[in-house]
Amino acid sequence: MFRVLAFLGCLVAATPVAAGPPRVVAHPPLPAWSVGVSFGGLAASLGPVAVGGMGGTAELALGHERWQLFGEATVMRVTAGDHDAPVVGMRQRAGLGARYLARSFHLDRSGGVELMLEAGLGAEAYRWSGGGHLARPDLGFGWSVKVRMFHLPLSVGLGIRLAVSPSFGDTGTAARVVCRGVCPPTAARPLDFSFSPTLGISW
């Protein structure tokens, strides 16, 4: 019996003792201010017509803890209508929004992966090479996944934004230009929708 107790005592003494709770890496706040550029695409509807395009966006953001307020400006080349003979134009947009750091995964103090949620208001304007223009407000919601390096600081990320805008329907100068005359009859709807994927960098 004493031999068994002595053996168990040796096992307990040989068991390594934990050095304390695992080290928790403190969450670094978002930068007080940052500048960013991104390149992205657009898939949208203008009344009964599908519109696609690609272009760039410049952004200025002010940060505090997990929040950012940002302003942005976008310029895109867009095409609409028939693929064989599309109508070409430019899309310009300016907007303001807020961004929230919802989740962060930091392996050490050098960097981490962050999930951002955002919402914003803006105004967009389309101008077509064949004449006609359209200006309207929009409301957007989006999210992005970023890799942020804390010591530089530098972030690279992929994002997606969904937006809604009031539809101009199938009447007006802009509609006639895009549809090359008379737009096909469609069921009336109050809103148009858009989808924008982006790849960006900020510092």
pLDDT value, residue 8: 43
**C-alpha of 111 from chain center:** 20
pTM of the predicted model as reported, rounded to 2 decimal places: 0.80
Q: Residue 34 contacts by C-beta under 8 Å, 6 or more apart in sequence? A: 60, 61, 63, 68, 153, 155, 202, 203
pLDDT value, residue 186: 59
Token pair in block for residue 71: 């302003």
**What mean pLDDT comes out for the span 140-151?**
94
Domain boundaries along the sequence of the chain? 28-202
3-state secondary structure of 134: strand
Hey, which residues does 81 pair with through a beta bridge? Answer: none
User: What CATH number should be reported for the domain whose range is 28-202?
Assistant: 2.40.160.20
Residue-wise pLDDT tens digits, 37-95:
999 999 998 877 889 999 999 999 999 999 999 999 999 999 987 777 788 999 999 99
Residue-wise pLDDT tens digits, 111-124:
999 999 999 999 99
Cis peptide bond upstream of 153, omega within 30: yes
